[in-house]
Amino acid sequence: MTATTVRGIGVPVKRKEDPRFIRGKGTYVDDVKLPGMLYMDIVRSPYAHARIKRIDVSKALAMPGVIDVITGEELAKANLAWMPTLMGDRQMVLPTDRVVYYAQEVAAVIATDRYVAADAVLAVEVEYEPLPPVLDPFEALEPDAPLVRPDREQKTNHIWHWEAGDKEKTDRIFQEAEVVVAQDLYIPRIHVASIETCGCVANYDPATDKLTIWMTSQAPHAHRTVFSLVTGIPEHKIRVISPDIGGGFGGKVPVYPGYVIATYATLKHKKPIKWIEDRSENLQADSFARDYHIHAELAANRDGKIRALRVKVVADHGAFDAAANPSRFPAGLFSVCTGSYDMEAAHVEVDGVYTTKPPGGVAYRCSFRVTEAVHTIERMVDILADELGMDPAEIRFKNFIQPHQFPYKSPTGWEYDSGNYPEALQKALEMIGYRELRREQAERRARGELMGIGISTFTEIVGAGPSHTFDILGIKMFDSAEIRVHPTGAVIVRIGVQTQGQGHETTFAQIVAEELGIPVEYITVEHGDTDTAPYGLGTYASRSTPTAGAATAVAARKIREKARLIAAHLLEVSPDDLEWKDYAFRVKGAPDRYKTMQEIAFAAYTNFPLGLEPGLEAECYYDPPNLTFPFGAYVCVVDIDRGTGQVKIREFLAVDDCGTIINPMIVEGQIHGGLTMGMAPALFEEIVYDENGTMLTGTFMDYLLPTAVETPHWKTAKTVTPSPHHPLGAKGVGESPTIGAPPAIVNAVVDALSHLGVRHIDIPITPAKLYRILQEKGVAE
């Protein structure tokens, strides 16, 4: 068989020879060109906090090619100056009296040419009265702090308080514990920095009374619902098309003001409006990630057995609570911070705070704050090991949830589906030669060299979500698939999730190929168009395979059950006399008598049993019974240059377990990309503001991303522990490396310096930061 005719899960299908699967050429939002299209650019605030005293648009309107300048006052008259966020807050589209973060949208210019619009932005005169910025979330909670949001009834910068676990039991264990370790950790604000910035083309057609929006959306159906809520236009009159997206990573889940302004402009002018951010706008004003100030404590026995975890967090959410989290979890899934460890109790509390910074709090390639949760527990376990003089691997083996304990109920209320944590770590240690590395480390230390070995054993929580627990704006987080088999056996699969490069076209085709026995080159997968795709909640939090992948499998099995009846009719036997074997329905005891799915498909339209509906298609709206819990064991080896503070990752091994693997090549690609994106915040990325709230890292000259030069050779391996409740046993993998890599790297760097008394370093661990530590410890060259 050639690569494209392989049926089945677990085969690395490439499909490069099929042009239908080379997607992205000429299909990005910025490639959309419509007759009479106008271009939009945005005036942005140079202040983090200021009153708007005057906006003069006369000079801009006098420029040739300028059609309109839209302000907040105009939107207010149309009841569009504010819009709902995905967390139930409300956010300014354009301000009417004040700005509350640097680079906030102030006005929008509409012109016949993109460059004319950019020039006209400079001609819009705005007079500001600066106000005190509110940049520190702890200071924002002080009674005399300036209000970021005077529009709210609650005259405070405190947004919400959320907690999980048993506080009384946890406090009691801490009072009687033999050992308690505590640490403050800060996980700084970072940006998704995807290749493609955000943008849209909005087009209202008066002839059809229909609004079409091409946009960079990870959740087209959810965005259509939000547009309907904001504009009042019925959903069936709105079409959202999300073509190929150059990276999402959570940053293209929120609805941004630019989308709403462009939509208003097309409704006003009855012409297509295109808005595409430049890179600085994307970095300065779009949704950020992280920004968690964490105080964590572990209680344990002197033999290293962990008994309880206690965590308090202050979360900086910027000027609006625009995080993309399930409604019931304003801090996301941070309560999974007990990780892979069996303990008696835990208590976690998080307070959200407004500051005069851009809004957001997106799940940057992680399941709703799981990156912060994993970083917390993995750093704390290493700190406990240091306190007790134990090996970091030994203390993990001592505290792992054991395979026989699954399904395991965590002390914060989650039910882990399956896992074998000791096996994954043992495999990682053997593959990397852990004992030999420890011997080498001792020898190097004796010579004054700095070498560190870091371990991260994490548990992810993905697949949002069960409708009884997860929703966004009240919409339950199920997902969907629709499969139609044509008379010739060709198949079209439409899914409710949206791809941003994860290879859904191949993965979902393989699921159908496995279930129906139809070669993958006969299967086309469509997504991203609300006029054709079934309603779904989109792609983020590694939910595609756990939800829509399951929906695809279930829909295919519905088709197979109908196909059984048609096959029985064709073979003149009872349906009970047939078995599905080797991708065909075969007569039990006479395997040479069989019908393939393609033969059955033709009969479904030409020779079907009396009383059976013709055709061969099915749909499924899948509501998972539980989330899935992929996990992994990562080991990182670093060398530190005492003359520069530079960290060199010498070796990095990632052992992942994502349950049943559908396409090994796609999984491998996801892991490699995720590891690089995990290395980035550990060593490079951080959004920085000055004392006035001005962003200092608004270009790639200042906001550092790793390139191929800095990226090490990643080594990977797998274990397979299927999820017991998923139709395929799959768990999801896209975000595991992003959450597992940072603590492995930090643990390695701290391990290299632990003999000098270093217990913790906040990320990013830059050469300058590390060199200062080396100077303080007297070992810098």
Residues with active-site annotation: 218, 365-366, 735
Residue 422 is inside which H or E element, if any?
A: helix 421-432
Q: What does the block give as tokens for 416?
A: 């882990």
Give the separation between CA 724 and CA 513, rounded to whole angstroms: 22
First to last CA, the chain: 60
Which residue carries 């899948």 as its tokens?
A: 622
Which residues, including other chains, have CB under 8 Å from residue 209's CB and lie 6 or more apart? Answer: 237
Q: Please, what is the Cα angle at 565 between 563 and 566, to 5 degrees?
A: 65
Buried b (16+ CB within 10 A) or exposed e, 489-506: bebbbbbbbbbbbbbbbb
Task: Judge whether 361 and 325 are in contact, CB under 8 Å.
Answer: yes
389: tokens are 């003089």
> Could you tell me if 385 and 391 are in contact, meaning their C-beta atoms sit under 8 angstroms apart?
yes
Sign of the dihedral through C-alpha 133, 139, 145, 150:
positive
Residues belonging to the chain: 781
Please state at what angle helix 421-432 crosses helix 392-399, rounded to 10 degrees.
Answer: 160
What the block records as the tokens of 672 is 């490699």
Buried/exposed 309-322: b ≥16 CB within 10 Å, e otherwise = bbbbbbbbbbbbbb
Tokens of 303: 């033999």
Rounded Cα distance between 251 and 144, Å, is 33
Question: Which residue in this structure is represented by tokens 């960290």?
Answer: 647
3-state secondary structure of 667: helix
3 state SS of 622: strand
Scored b (16 or more CB within 10 A) or e, 186-222 reads ebbbbbbbbebbbbbbbbbeeeeeebbbbbbbbbbbb
Selection from 484, 481, 492 nearest residue 522 by Cα: 492
User: Measuring CA to CA, which residue among 756, 771, 752, 746 is closest to residue 188?
Assistant: 746
Task: Please give the structure tokens belonging to residue 296.
Answer: 């964590």
Residue 716: strand pairing partners: 654
For residue 618 the two structure tokens come to: 């099915």
Beta strands in 192-287 (DSSP E): 199-205, 210-215, 238-241, 273-276
Residue 5: C-alpha distances to residues 13, 219, 354, 483, 728 (Å): 9, 32, 55, 19, 21
72 phi/psi in degrees, rounded to 5? -65, -35
Strand partners, 129: 51
Please check whether residue 578 is in contact with residue 585, taking contact to mean a CB–CB distance below 8 angstroms. Answer: yes
Answer yes or no: are the C-beta atoms of 386 and 759 closer than 8 Å.
Answer: yes
